[in-house]
Chains A and B, each alone.
Chain A
Amino acid sequence: MRRAELVMALVMAAFSAYLMWKSTELPIGWIPDEGPGGGAFSFWLAAVMLISCIAILIRWVRRTSPVAQSTEPYMDRQSLVLIAIVAGSLTAMIALIHVVGAYLAVALFLVFYVRFLGRHSWRVTLALAVGTPIFTFFFFDVNLRIFLPKGITEPLFYPLYEIFL
């Protein structure tokens, strides 16, 4: 826990400094008749972020915050594996959307999660993996005209567009 607290504070301090530097691309000072420049607001806020991070670091050194005193591990091994699998499959789904489109990616994700992580029957798995994309298609593509990405599966949807749009 202590190491995680330190790493997070350092990363966030670096991020704050980056934000301050990035804000200076626009004027951060006073422009006559225009008021504060476009970068001023974010510059000073990022400065406060940096100060907060320094305060967190001071509390870490002096061990005054509960997290800085904690000797428990940040994450035990079992949770780490579980979270990594979940976050990994989620990342894979989003990456797949670019290639095979949202509908196939969602179906694959559900098959993986429900069948292999959840160990549910194939019947439940397929009902969800087929039902969810169909429902989504009618709600978003047909009803709202918000077209989800199709990737290489786009041609498969032409007949559906013909019928429903």
Chain B
Amino acid sequence: MEILGHLLDGFAIAFEFQNLLLVIIGVTVGLFVGAMPGLGSVNGVAILLPVTFAVPPTGAIIFLAAIYYGAMYGGAISSIMLGIPGASTAVATTFDGRPLALQGKADHALIAAATASFAGGTISVILFTLFAPPLAAVALAFGSPEIFALMMLAFATFIGLGSDDIPKTIFSICIGLVLSTVGYDVISGEPRLLFLDITGFLHGINFLVLAIGIYGIGEMLWTIETSQGKMTVSQATLSISRFFDGMRKLTGSIKTMLMGSFLGYFVGILPAAGATPGSLMAYGVAKTMAKDPASYGKGNVDGVVAPEAANNAASTGSMLPMITLGIPGSPTTAILLGGMVIWGLEPGPRMFIEQTEFVWGLIGSLYVANLFSVIINLAFIPVFLWVLRLPFTILAPMIFVACVIGGFAPIQDMHDVWLMLIFGVVGYLMRKLDYPMAPAVLAIVLGPLAEPALRQSLLISDGSFAIFFERPISGGIMAVTIFVFVLPIYRAIRTRLRGSSAGGAA
């Protein structure tokens, strides 16, 4: 019942005039960002974070979370209408969304996507409301060793559960952590790692510089290179009667919606997993559960419903560890977490005690954001279709300008802008070679928290790493970490053994 009281307070905050306005603007921006090929939630949140300096922290997080939500809805629009996912999180939506559009049923697909997103979002927010307070209460007892162990677990998931090249993933994690140590050593107060002794490094490398570099400039370069070809927008005919017809047909998809929502939520909690694998998994499960698996990929509405419910649920899921433990569950929440530090908050379980307005305002706004997303999405489908025709040669330079100004705004030093350009270009060149970028962004956000946690733990134990294994909670977390870490090794050995025995038989 205590939760209910807090939730009502949260709604009161979310319905304050300014916050409600921020939700509506955020959702609209998010839908736009999600719908544009080449831009996803993470790009929108990274590029627009500097804009939030204009409002108090609660308004800022509400605005950014609304973008996150809106982008999950918006991704489906271009997946269906262009056949190109608007964001990686909407890849699975193209499988059946595009065939539906080509059959002239684009409106059915769009309605199914919006409704499924709403179901996924709402179910996951309810789960979030129930899970977050008890988890935060448990996490209150965590000391430095537990916090460090949790971070290790977060990184291990990239290695064990991510699908990227393992040495390159490890490299990405470490470079993010090292970049976070530039500036002053917090304990001795001495300057360190000033590259080429440039004084601009004295104030450290703000995570936003890396995030905007990679997700703004790098992403744009990537999109410019890959999207040289022409895109064709499908036609969607919409009318009130077709709308209700589409809604009625969805009653058969309720089971798929529920499955996608729960699966997405729990997958979303894992740092390396998140919305993209969550939606792909939901698609796979829906297909195996279906009575007619052969119809998938040829325009089955359930093939749109499952991934769309899952990706929205996953975006909520990824906020659970962010708000309760201070460990982001996705690159987008990593940027939100970094934002909290800039706004002067201390992320972690204590937020539930000290920043109740912030936490419950955010939770309340998630319900509201969902409602507005589905309304705005359905009401303005024609507008978004028009937006999809916006030439990239107009969008790209505007985003570059936003990146440059956004890179300057946090500390107001041109040094950061140059650094951002370098990160953007180098990140783009590395991404072409399959170096994953998300671990580095997560690491540069967590670095300033991980290093003190490690040093304090070692100070307690007088230099012995055994402390991480001896304490019951951190020991448990470390055991899971090691398990996740050795997963790919185990898999590699198994495939090799199988490969050699198969070779022997032949």
Contact = CB atoms under 8 A, between A and B. Distances in A.
B455 interface: yes
Interface stretch (B85-93, B169-177, B235-243, B297-305): B169-177
Contact of A78 (B181, B190, B195, B228): B228
Contacts of B473: none
A117 B225 CA distance: 14
B52 to A, nearest CB: 10
Contacts of A102: 404-405, 408
Interface in B178-212: 178, 181, 185, 187-188, 190, 192-193, 195
> Interface range on chain B: under 10, 10 to 19, 20 to 34, or 35 or more?
35 or more
Nearest to A49: B174
Contacts of A35: 187, 455-456, 458-459, 463
Contacts of B168: 52, 56
B185 A109 contact: no
B interface: dominant SS: helix
A41 to B, nearest CB: 5
Interface string A65-81: 11100000011001100
A34 interface: yes
A25 B192 contact: yes
A140 interface: yes
Given A12-B171, A49-B178, A94 B221 contact: no
Contacts of B430: 8
A55 B165 CA distance: 11
Interface stretch (B107-115, B348-356, B409-417): B409-417
B54 interface: yes
B25 interface: no
B405 A147 contact: no
Contact of B417 (A30, A36, A52, A94): A94
Nearest to B456: A35
B345 to A, nearest CB: 19
Contacts of A12: 171
Contact of A143 (B54, B181, B397, B405): B54
Given A35-B459, A114-B393, A148 B221 contact: no
> Interface range on chain A: under 10, 10 to 19, 20 to 34, or 35 or more?
35 or more
Interface string B413-447: 01001100100010001101111000000000000
A93 B217 CA distance: 13
A64 to B, nearest CB: 10
A41 B221 contact: no
A74 B393 CA distance: 24
Interface string B381-414: 0000000000101101110110011001100101
B408 A148 contact: yes
B433 A59 contact: no
B393 A113 contact: yes
A19 B459 CA distance: 25
Interface string A9-42: 0001000000100110110001000111111011
Given A34-B187, A52-B168, A140-B409, A149 B414 contact: yes
Interface string B446-462: 00000100111011000
B456 A97 contact: no
A41 B179 CA distance: 11
A56 B171 contact: yes
A103 to B, nearest CB: 10
A163 interface: no
A59 B468 CA distance: 33
A25 B54 CA distance: 40
Given A4-B433, A132-B401, A22 B408 contact: no
A106 B401 contact: yes
Contacts of A67: 165, 433-434
A82 B225 contact: yes
Interface of B: 51, 53-54, 165, 167-168, 170-171, 174-175, 177-178, 181, 185, 187-188, 190, 192-193, 195, 217, 220-221, 224-225, 228, 391, 393-394, 396-398, 400-401, 404-405, 408-409, 412, 414, 417-418, 421, 425, 429-430, 432-435, 451, 454-456, 458-459, 463
25 contacts: A8-B430, A22-B195, A23-B192, A26-B188, A26-B190, A34-B188, A35-B458, A36-B454, A38-B192, A41-B451, A42-B192, A48-B174, A52-B168, A75-B225, A82-B225, A83-B221, A90-B400, A98-B414, A106-B401, A106-B404, A110-B397, A113-B393, A113-B396, A124-B394, A148-B405
Closest 9 CB pairs of A and B: A118-B393, A38-B185, A113-B397, A55-B167, A52-B171, A35-B459, A52-B167, A42-B181, A45-B174
Given A86-B220, A102-B405, A124-B394, 7 more contacts: A26-B188, A45-B177, A55-B167, A109-B400, A114-B397, A140-B409, A146-B409
